[in-house]
Amino acid sequence: MIKRDDLLNRDFSGNKARKLYHFLKGDFPSVKRVISHGSSQSNAMYSLSVLAKMRNWEFIYYTKHLSSYLKNNPQGNYKAALQNGMKLIVDEHFEKERLRDLPQDTLFIDEGAAVKEAKEGIKLLAREIEDQYRGEELEVFLPSGTGTTALYLQKYLDFRVYTTPCVGDRSYLFKQFAKLESDKSSYPVIIDTKRKYHFGKLYKELYEMWLELKASTKIEFDLLYDPVGWIAIFENLERFTKPILYIHQGGLLGNETMIKRYQRRGWHEDIRER
């Protein structure tokens, strides 16, 4: 089964909408701007640009690297965030510690929206799942970047939550969990893929998985996280003892850039037939 969180809203969907719910619905009368940081094609960057636009806040975003290709050919999350008014600062020496003492009218949201406030929106997601599948038995799966969604989902769900690391390894995920929650009993179960996939790097089997999912389910998934997630499921099927609910976390805007990268490799839509 698939939880279509990618359909929450055309502009504000998936796990980032859940993680930023607190900042969308909360009362912040003195806030005039929001600052964050991360990669130049981050899903969180785009979602923050939408949040800032909706709240009429200035949005300043720091990144350590912006490729000349992307700068000259804006696309995907980067292009959309710029269109929403994002002010981008490229600083290869950026360290977030420099942003500790910000004025009261400035809100800092850590990379990937990995913040304690994320629990509010993720708790709502947990309630939706509990209400929809009350009395049933299932296990929940979602791939992880910072692991924030998986962590808080397990905290508020009675169902067992599984995840796989897509950005770092399992030790990275445990460190991210520990930053937000000290109670290890509420941590989700981490499963690994047989092969280590370096985040953002092109792999033929990931593209093949994405195409197969699109053909078999008629659903478009994200190209960075979801193929790794589905491979993790298929390689660890013996770990699951109940029906699986897969959380579709959105992030589809970044597919434009990823597809072009794969196509420049010569891996086109007919890859499975070849």
pLDDT tens per residue across span 51-98: 999 999 999 999 999 999 999 999 999 999 999 999 999 999 999 998
Helix, coil or strand: residue 42: coil
250-273 tens-digit pLDDT: 999 889 889 988 988 877 555 544
Position 100 scores a pLDDT of 79
In this structure, what token pair is assigned to residue 74? 């804006």
Average pLDDT over residues 218-222: 96
Q: What is the pLDDT of residue 61?
A: 98
The rounded percent of the chain whose pLDDT value lies above 90 is: 88
Residue type (1 letter), 149: T
- How much is the pLDDT for 274? 44
Neighbours of 269 (CB within 10 A): 11
Which backbone phi and psi does 220 adopt, to 5 degrees? -90, 125
* pLDDT, tens digit, 9 for 90 and up, residues 148-201: 999 999 999 999 999 999 999 999 999 999 999 999 988 999 999 999 999 999
Domains and CATH numbers, the chain: 2-7+117-264 (3.40.50.1100), 14-114 (3.40.50.1100)
Cα Dmax for the chain? 58
The percent of residues in the chain predicted with pLDDT above 70, rounded, is 97
- Dihedral sign computed on CA atoms, order 17, 132, 141, 225: negative
CA–CA separation, 48 and 206 (whole Å) = 27
Render the burial of 111-127: b for 16+ CB within 10 Å, e for the rest. bbbbbeebbbbbbebbe
Could you read off the pLDDT of 94-151 as tens digits, one per residue? 999 988 789 999 999 999 999 999 999 999 999 999 999 999 999 999 999 999 999 9
- What pLDDT does 159 receive? 97
The yes-or-no verdict on residue 215 having pLDDT over 90 is yes
Q: What pLDDT is recorded for position 272?
A: 46
> Which residue, chain included where needed, has tokens 């290869």?
92
The DSSP element (H or E) to which 89 belongs, if any, is: strand 87-90
